[in-house]
Structure 1
């Protein structure tokens, strides 16, 4: 009887793995991995991975499984892995080898470079034991053809008539052909079931003909999020519909975040507000969009923006606004590679170290997970709204959480941002990133000054954190007496802060009689 009871949690997780819906994924946060570059087998040489060589470095499903603590300790609740199916095996191409997994040959077979069927099942099982989801990248638009006369016997679809005619871009499958549609539907259903996959990320979704995805994703029976590369909102929104996909990667907002926060750059915060306004009428469900700052097709954020605070502020937006946050491996280590292949660095030289960025990610995940599971006003389904915006930043509110973001970067600046909240005068609130408590001023006003640099703030009524384990004893109450300074004679408290490019800064909190004034 005892052994049967011990099986019950695993059975429940296995059942959910076969039917993880869009709604199940709404509250998840995702860590994206290129399997070949995440972790090495024991005894391998850690110095022998050059991204520029565009070849295999040795990561496997087993090495990923052995290092899941690193991902879970940052609070992620899902892992998205690169494609698992058999890739091109042959002479090196002008573009290198198929280490990334996107050069599919035979969909029906696994990629032996990354392990066996038992290894992939073990990875899936381990994730589910931890209460985490597995998302697998899939490629259905094309197969890898190194010549103008490919050997069709190496592919799952072996008849030339099932392919479009040759073009200068690729040999692409005829996904309008009923045989191809049926074949793919059968394949994906079997793969999802066999490996207990919870969700699919679909490569190059807009390059597949209309009407294919509902049948494909219906057969899979799990959440499908597609890549629709480009910043055009109308085009992107057209793919989140009953006739296409559950969701897409949020390229329009990625573009807006770059416009608003990258240094040097336009520093145009209206790009964000304009994009949010467009969401209200164009996207079916912004809460399911995949929010990201980096991926395998884009330059690293640190390659584009010289200031770490720019990434931290943009990251807070992705976690605290509508959508599912996604972090690409190495982003939390400050990797700075340019576009492919330089943005596919090995992770192991970082030694999986804890740093200011991993601390930021862990804090955001901890708080978001708490909101998802414990919010009394359904934070997850509430719509983000803009409270304040100016050239130096903006403040957004989702549920009861106010996030104050700036694009000034790390250096101190003699600027301020007035934030008008719906909260009442004298309400105690806490910034979950610094664990400091302060008091709302008259008319719900918070005046934020950046005399110590531009750290983001995520602020919530202190009472909402009771029994959450967030900040806990670190919260130091500040009592306000109307018309007087809140704390010492200078009206300031100096607090250690570890989220500014690895430097220890001071957070100065000033609370005036009429206006809650937060100095950052």
Structure 2
């Protein structure tokens, strides 16, 4: 009996190994962080970080953990952090130092610049305590080197030259070349790992399984996914046992969509292109780019509800660098939250950062003072509504918003209206100045139904033929309109929360994910109790 008790107590002390599935990620919203640039340890000098210097500024896993309130208060239910693996260590390169985390040397080791193993575990534990998920960026396609002849591989995970493809510059548009030749350039080459080699395949699978289990990681963002043969990904992600979303850079829907299958999902570059074409000011103001992309979704993407929707990331100019009017970002942002897909916000977007491409789009966040800006407030409202809708129980009286498909209600030169579940989103590219423009949107709702715009809390009444009329005499604000009765118990726009209940705008994510470990532990407990009972008879 004592042996069984000792075994049970030992097992109960193990870190639970969870497996967050694609379905469990579908209802999340993600805040993307470059570890070095999100927050500093207490007492640090906050004036010494110029992104143009391309060097380390001092952010750590611990400083993220200590400032999670900022992220959670905006309603985000997951964070995505830059790579945690060991990077190049040596003389400064022509492109600076690897503060961003993407210049891998040995993937199997942690990057000591950002903390210790215990620090990363503590960040993961704190996120899960808050009911949030952890997504980690991983680089599999390449390592970083300062030569093209692979002379010295002693500091790399793969030490045999045969485990790399021979050097060749990429011929863009040639799939074989994109997969086998080297990213980077002659100043900073990025040797291409031979991911067809059986030894590389098995080593990567063992590494990712251990990384996920050791740090209780919930999902992976995969860098440069299209530069690896698609056959590699199912077994790699299978070994990880968690949701995998890949970067397939470019707006070619045929190419991007072909990776949803080998991977659970991809970042939605085609829609990013359409959103910039429709909303950026000045710009083409081509709203049909969005409707055409949504139509193509129906035949190209396996599951649009899992696509990663974004307006900014570490490889692109900030939205405010391309568009002079903040309302353009608010409207495009509303689309990403209220259409099909998982919304992703790059740190600093909520602060209106306006840096151009790398390195200027990697500003330190602490210079903003973590201010509660207009963008911050809009994101909070969008997250609150989305989390509320995700938590609605699907039954005969309610629409399953999360699994419904977004449909276009109307489109014209000034914007478009979409409907997903019970939510009508009316979006415009008019910008901030008042405009003598109105739009009539025909909905399936009945005459005289009371509806509420959750961004302004303004009331609307459905007219004849299900018409919602919106005018822009105060400027081109986005409208996210829902039946007023739907907001009951949401805490939004004056809706009260029933006594003793949890606001449904807060994602009910404190419940643990499915855990094979937990299930096994329960079975062990049952077996132990049974054996204990037998021993007492």
> TM-score normalised by the shorter chain: which range applies?
0.7 to 0.9
Look up the match of 1:61: 61
Task: Measure how far apart 1:12 and its partner are.
Answer: 13
Task: Measure how far apart 1:473 and its partner are.
Answer: 5.5
Q: CA 1:371–1:13 in structure 2 vs 1: closer, same or farther (change >3 Å)?
A: farther
2:385 to 344, 352, 367: 367
Look up the match of 2:529: none
Look up the match of 1:21: 21
Q: Report the secondary structure of 2:146's partner residue.
A: coil
C-alpha distance after superposition, 1:174-197 (max 9, x if no partner): 001111011000000000000000
- Following TM superposition, the consecutive aligned residue runs of length 4 or more in structure 1 with deviations greater than 3 angstroms are 11-15
Look up the match of 1:514: none
Q: Is the 8 A contact 2:73 2:380 kept in 1?
A: yes
Q: Is the 8 A contact 2:489 2:495 kept in 1?
A: no
Aligned equivalents of 1:210, 1:313: Cα separation in 2 = 35
2:184 matches 1:184:
no
C-alpha distance after superposition, 1:150-193 (max 9, x if no partner): 42111111111111112243311000111101100000000000
Task: Measure how far apart 1:13 and its partner are.
Answer: 13
Q: CA 1:91–1:282 in structure 2 vs 1: closer, same or farther (change >3 Å)?
A: same
Gaps of 5+ in 1: 1-10, 475-520
Gaps of 5+ in 2: 1-11, 170-181, 183-189, 497-537
2:421 to 388, 392, 399: 399
Q: Which has the higher contact order (CA 8 A, sep 6+)?
A: 2
TM-score, structure 2 as length reference: 0.85
Which shifted more, 306-315 or 459-468?
459-468
Task: Measure how far apart 1:369 and its partner are.
Answer: 0.1
C-alpha distance after superposition, 1:48-83 (max 9, x if no partner): 000000000000000000000000000000000000
2:446 matches 1:445:
no
2:172 matches 1:171:
no
Look up the match of 1:411: 433
What is the aligned residue count?
Answer: 462
Look up the match of 2:334: 316
1:230 to 250, 263, 270: 250
1:411-490 to structure 2, matched below 5 A, reads 411-472=433-494
**What root-mean-square deviation, in Å, do the aligned CA atoms of Structure 1 and Structure 2 show?**
1.5
Look up the match of 1:329: 347
Task: Measure how far apart 1:417 and its partner are.
Answer: 1.2
1:502-517 to structure 2, matched below 5 A, reads none
Q: CA 1:407–1:156 in structure 2 vs 1: closer, same or farther (change >3 Å)?
A: same
1:266-345 to structure 2, matched below 5 A, reads 266-345=284-363
Task: Measure how far apart 1:91 and its partner are.
Answer: 0.2
Q: Report the secondary structure of 2:49's partner residue.
A: coil
Look up the match of 1:508: none
Look up the match of 1:490: none
Aligned equivalents of 2:64, 2:405: Cα separation in 1 = 35
Q: Is the 8 A contact 2:230 2:259 kept in 1?
A: no
Task: Measure how far apart 1:14 and its partner are.
Answer: 6.5
C-alpha distance after superposition, 1:213-271 (max 9, x if no partner): 00100000000000000001111110101xx1000000000000000000000000000
Q: Is the 8 A contact 2:460 2:468 kept in 1?
A: no
1:144-223 to structure 2, matched below 5 A, reads 144-150=144-150, 151-168=152-169, 169=182, 170-223=190-243
TM-score, structure 1 as length reference: 0.87
Aligned equivalents of 1:12, 1:270: Cα separation in 2 = 56
1:347 to 359, 365, 374: 365
Aligned equivalents of 1:352, 1:269: Cα separation in 2 = 33
